[in-house]
Structure 1
Amino acid sequence: MADTAYDPNNVFGKILRGEMPAHKVYEDEHVLAFMDVMPQGEGHTLVIPKAPSRGLLDAEPETLATLMRGVQTVARGVKAAFAADGLTIFQFNEAAGGQTVFHLHVHVIPRKDGVPLKRHEGGMADPAVLAAHAERIRAALAS
């Protein structure tokens, strides 16, 4: 089980502690949402629980419930901010399942008809673009 234990020094743990920067869009007592630095589409946002959870299988049921409430809130803001036709919501578990950061997180990506997702390994986005996208989402959530 050692390889599946939660490591608090993962990048999202560091973001939660303020040790690494992030373009934040939403926060409450249970979750934090911020821009994905390797977006698969404009407005690609991550929602993470503040509770230490490696993935879906080790998270407490209460953590999952508050996480999904946060995902729904953020998804509404993301959809509005980018006038999206729809949303892609996904979550990976363990390396074989595609997980690369071992802190539970949900991807929220606004989608336009006919526009494919980019590869996640496509490189880091321009920080100024991420900041502008974060501002659009925060404004949508405030209205």
Structure 2
Amino acid sequence: MAIDANKPYDDENIFAKILRGEIPSKKVYEDEWAYAFHDIAPQAPLHILVIPKGRYVSWNDFSASASSEEIAGFVRAVGKIARDHDLVEPGYRLLANVGENGGQEVPHFHIHLFGGKPLGRMISA
């Protein structure tokens, strides 16, 4: 099911429930700004989801509404997770799906961090 990135935040989405501890996750990292965990259906040898702790529907919402501190803290957390997993060399991919055409399925902004193998081209035409 695709998500409308402009709809209000839904406190009952699966990532909100994970943040509240109502649904278990395999935690990788947590700080004041971000929570990261292994994807339950990995698309690469390493597939981590990184979510902000704030109530943001999409990248669009996060980049427009989050404070400078939240944005900086979240971006630094994503970088730290990549470094902690030795992904800088040979490389990794970050992906944020936004809205229906972008394939967003959960109405809570999140970054997919992929690594552990050559990932090939991003999008085929």
TM-score normalised by the chain length of structure 1:
0.71
Aligned Cα RMSD in Å? 2.2
1:77 is displaced (CA, Å) by 1.8
- Identify which of structures 1 and 2 has the higher relative contact order when contacts are C-alpha pairs closer than 8 Å and 6+ apart: 2
1:23 pairs with 20, 23, 26, which one? Answer: 26
Do the aligned residues in 1 keep the contact of 2:93 with 2:114 (CA within 8 Å)? Answer: yes
Identify which of 72, 80, 86 aligns with 1:79.
Answer: 86
CA distance in structure 2 between the partners assigned to 1:29 and 1:66 by the alignment:
8
Counterparts of 1:18 and 1:8 in 2: how far apart (Å)? 13
Q: Which aligned runs of 4 or more in structure 1 are off by greater than 3 angstroms? A: none
Partner of 1:39: 42
Q: How many residues align?
A: 113
Verify the 8 A CA contact 1:88 1:111 in the aligned structure 2.
no
CA contact (8 A) 2:46 2:116 kept: no
Decide which structure has greater helix share: 1
Structure 2: 5+ residue stretches without partners: none
1:101 CA drift (Å) = 0.6
| TM-score scaled by length of structure 2 | 0.80
Gaps of 5+ in 1: 118-143
